[in-house]
C-alpha cells in the first residue's frame, strides 16, 4: 500500500473575506498596501494564529507578481472552518477602521465583514445616540442579547460614542453614522428604530415648550424611516410625545407607509416611576409592583390607575392624591433637582431600553408581552391614547381596554382627554399646515442661534439630537 504523505493541514482562507468588496481577492488587496500600513502589520502579527498560506501571501513582494493563493479545504476533527471564518471576519473588520467622519474605507468594509460574526438577532437603530438619553440607551441596547446589529446615529460625536460602546464584549455589532448624509445608511434594514433625538427640558419648560424644536427633528427622521425601513417598529421618545407620535403618523401617511401597529410612543418612564413610588408607599420591591398608566405623557395627561395596581391593594385619598401628583410631575422633579444641568436622561434611558426589549421579544415570538404605550387607538374618542397593548411579531397585536375606573380616575380621564386633544391636533397641524410649519421653522432657527450664542458655541447646547 502506498504510504500517504503527511502534510501540515492548512486552513482555507475564510470565504467571508472574499465577500468584502468582491474581486480582486482580499489578499491581493492587502499586498498592494504599503508594507508599513496598519493592515499589513496587524495581519502579519495575527498570521501565526491562522493559515501559513496567508502569511506567505503577505510576505510576497507587492510588485505585481503575487498570484491568488489556492484555497484548500480544512477538515480538523470533523469540524468545518465556519468558526474560524467568523473569527477571521471579526478580526478583519479592525484592519482598516472607519475614519473619524465614519466613512468606510473602500478596500475593506469592516462593518460588513464584522457582521459575519454577529450573533443571530435583530437590527436596532438609535437616532440621537450621542445625547443624554441616547448614550446610556445605546449602552443598554448593546447589552441586549436579542440585538445583533446596533446602528448609532447623530449629528455630532457619533464616532466617539460608537468606538466606546463597540468595545463592550457583547454580541451586537456596533456601527456609527454621522450627520444627515448618512441617515439613510443608518436606517436601511432596521427592525426597530428608537428616537430619543431632540433638545432636553430645562427649568420652567413644559413638554409643549419643546415642540417648536423637536417637531422638525422627528419629522425629518420619520421621512428617512419611511424611505429606508418602512416596516420597522418605531419607538418615539422625543418630547412632547403627545404631539410627536401624531407627527410621525402623518409623515408615514403622506409616504404611504403608515402602519399603526408599528408606531409606539414610549411612556414606560411613567410606569417605571409609578411602580417605584407605589412600592415606596407600600413597602414593596418596585419590581414586584405593576401600575397601569394611561392617557398621555405630559402633566395631567399622565393617569396612573391606582385602582388596578398589582398586587391588589388599597390607598387612602391622601395617598392617591400624593401618588398621582408625584407620578404626573416626576419629570419636573428631576429637571428642578438637576438645576439646569439636564432632564430625566438616565431613568428615561432605562425605561426606553425596557420597552425596546419588550418590542424585541415580541418580534422574536415571545407570548404574553403587555406594556403601556401611546398609540393609534380606539379606546377613547381620541385618535391617540396610551393604554396597555399586547406586543407580538407584527408590533401591536391588541390594544387592551382600560378596565373599570373609580370616580377619581374618571375625573382625571376627562382632564387628560381635553389636553390630549389639543396636543394631537398640534402635531397633525405641524405636518399638514405649510404656513404653520414655516413659522415654526423660523422659531427653530432663532432658538438655535440663541442657544449657540448663549453657550459660546459649546457643543452641549447644540439643539439637535441631544435630548
Give burial (CB, 10 Å; 0-12/13-18/19+) of 285.
Answer: exposed
Do residues 237 and 133 make contact, with C-beta atoms less than 8 angstroms apart?
yes
Kind plus residue range of the DSSP H or E element containing 177: strand 173-178
Q: What is the pLDDT of residue 92?
A: 52
Active site residues: 297
> Within 145-210, where are the H helices?
158-166, 183-187
Residue given cell 405649510 in the structure block: 434
User: What's the chain's length in residues?
Assistant: 467
Residues 6+ apart with CB under 8 A from 252: 222, 225, 226, 230, 258, 259, 263
Kindly report the average pLDDT of the chain as a whole number: 79
Looking at the predicted structure, is the pLDDT value of residue 2 above 60? Answer: no
Confidence of residue 433 (pLDDT cuts 50, 70, 90): confident
Quick one: average pLDDT of 452-463? 40
d(CA 61, CA 224): 47
Query: What pLDDT, in 10s, does the model give residues 14-34?
Result: 444 444 444 444 444 444 555
Write a three-state SS string for 30-81: HHCCCCCCHHHHHHHHHHHHCCHHHHHHHHCCCCCCCCCCCCCCCCECCECC
Q: Which position has the higher pLDDT, 335 or 17?
A: 335
Which stretch of DSSP H or E encloses residue 250? helix 241-255
> Sign (positive/negative) of CA torsion 139, 140, 146, 150?
negative
Determine the average pLDDT of the residues in 99-116. Answer: 39
3 state DSSP class of 181: helix
Per-residue pLDDT reduced to its tens digit, 277-333: 999 999 999 999 999 999 999 999 999 999 999 999 999 999 999 999 999 999 999
User: Given this model, what pLDDT does residue 342 score?
Assistant: 86
Among 416, 421, 419, 412, which residue's Cα sits nearest to residue 305? 412
CB 121 within 8 A of CB 153: no
In the chain, % of residues over pLDDT 70: 66
How big is the CA angle at 352 (ends 351 and 358), to the nearest 5 degrees? 95
Helix runs in 283-406, H state only: 317-328, 330-338, 346-364
Amino acid at each position: 500500500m502506498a504510504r500517504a504523505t503527511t502534510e501540515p493541514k492548512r486552513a482555507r482562507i475564510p470565504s467571508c473575506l472574499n465577500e468584502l468588496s468582491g474581486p480582486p481577492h482580499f489578499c491581493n488587496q492587502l499586498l498592494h498596501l504599503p508594507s508599513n500600513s496598519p493592515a499589513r502589520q496587524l495581519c502579519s502579527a495575527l498570521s501565526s494564529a491562522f493559515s501559513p498560506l496567508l502569511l506567505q501571501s503577505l510576505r510576497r513582494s507587492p510588485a505585481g507578481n503575487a498570484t491568488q493563493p489556492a484555497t484548500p479545504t480544512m477538515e480538523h476533527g470533523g469540524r468545518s472552518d465556519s468558526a474560524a471564518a467568523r473569527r477571521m471576519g471579526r478580526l478583519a473588520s479592525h484592519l482598516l477602521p472607519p475614519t473619524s467622519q465614519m466613512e468606510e474605507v473602500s478596500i475593506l468594509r469592516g462593518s460588513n465583514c464584522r457582521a459575519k460574526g454577529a450573533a443571530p438577532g435583530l437590527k436596532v437603530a438609535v437616532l440621537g445616540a450621542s445625547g443624554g438619553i441616547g448614550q446610556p440607551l445605546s449602552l443598554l441596547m448593546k447589552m441586549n442579547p436579542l440585538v445583533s446589529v446596533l446602528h448609532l446615529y447623530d449629528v455630532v460625536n457619533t464616532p466617539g460614542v460608537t468606538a466606546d460602546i463597540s468595545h463592550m464584549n457583547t454580541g451586537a455589532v456596533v456601527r456609527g453614522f454621522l450627520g444627515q448624509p448618512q441617515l439613510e445608511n443608518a436606517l436601511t434594514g432596521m427592525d426597530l428604530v428608537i428616537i430619543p433625538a431632540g433638545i432636553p427640558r430645562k427649568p420652567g419648560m413644559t413638554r409643549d415648550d419643546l415642540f417648536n424644536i423637536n417637531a422638525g427633528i422627528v419629522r425629518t427622521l420619520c421621512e428617512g424611516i419611511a424611505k429606508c425601513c418602512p416596516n420597522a417598529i418605531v419607538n418615539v421618545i422625543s418630547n412632547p410625545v403627545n404631539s410627536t407620535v401624531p407627527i410621525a403618523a402623518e409623515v408615514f401617511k403622506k409616504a404611504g407607509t403608515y402602519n399603526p401597529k408599528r408606531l409606539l410612543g414610549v411612556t414606560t418612564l411613567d410606569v417605571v416611576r409609578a411602580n417605584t413610588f407605589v412600592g415606596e408607599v407600600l413597602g414593596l420591591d418596585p419590581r414586584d409592583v405593576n401600575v397601569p398608566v394611561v392617557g398621555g405623557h405630559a402633566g395631567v395627561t399622565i393617569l396612573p390607575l391606582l385602582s388596578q395596581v398589582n398586587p391588589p391593594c388599597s390607598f387612602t385619598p391622601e395617598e392617591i392624591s400624593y401618588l398621582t401628583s408625584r407620578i404626573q410631575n416626576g419629570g419636573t422633579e428631576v429637571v428642578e433637582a438637576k438645576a439646569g444641568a439636564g432632564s430625566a436622561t438616565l431613568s428615561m434611558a432605562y425605561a426606553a431600553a425596557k420597552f425596546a426589549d419588550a418590542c424585541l421579544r415580541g418580534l422574536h415570538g415571545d407570548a404574553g408581552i403587555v406594556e403601556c404605550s401611546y398609540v393609534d387607538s380606539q379606546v377613547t374618542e381620541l385618535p391617540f391614547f396610551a393604554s396597555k397593548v399586547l406586543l407580538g411579531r407584527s408590533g401591536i397585536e391588541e390594544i387592551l381596554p382600560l378596565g373599570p375606573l373609580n370616580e377619581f380616575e374618571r375625573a382625571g380621564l376627562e382632564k387628560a382627554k381635553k389636553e390630549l386633544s389639543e396636543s394631537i391636533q398640534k402635531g397633525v397641524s405641524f405636518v399638514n399646515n405649510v404656513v404653520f410649519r414655516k413659522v415654526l421653522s423660523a422659531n427653530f432657527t432663532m432658538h438655535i442661534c440663541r442657544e449657540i450664542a448663549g453657550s459660546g458655541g459649546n457643543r452641549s447646547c447644540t439643539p439637535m439630537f441631544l435630548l
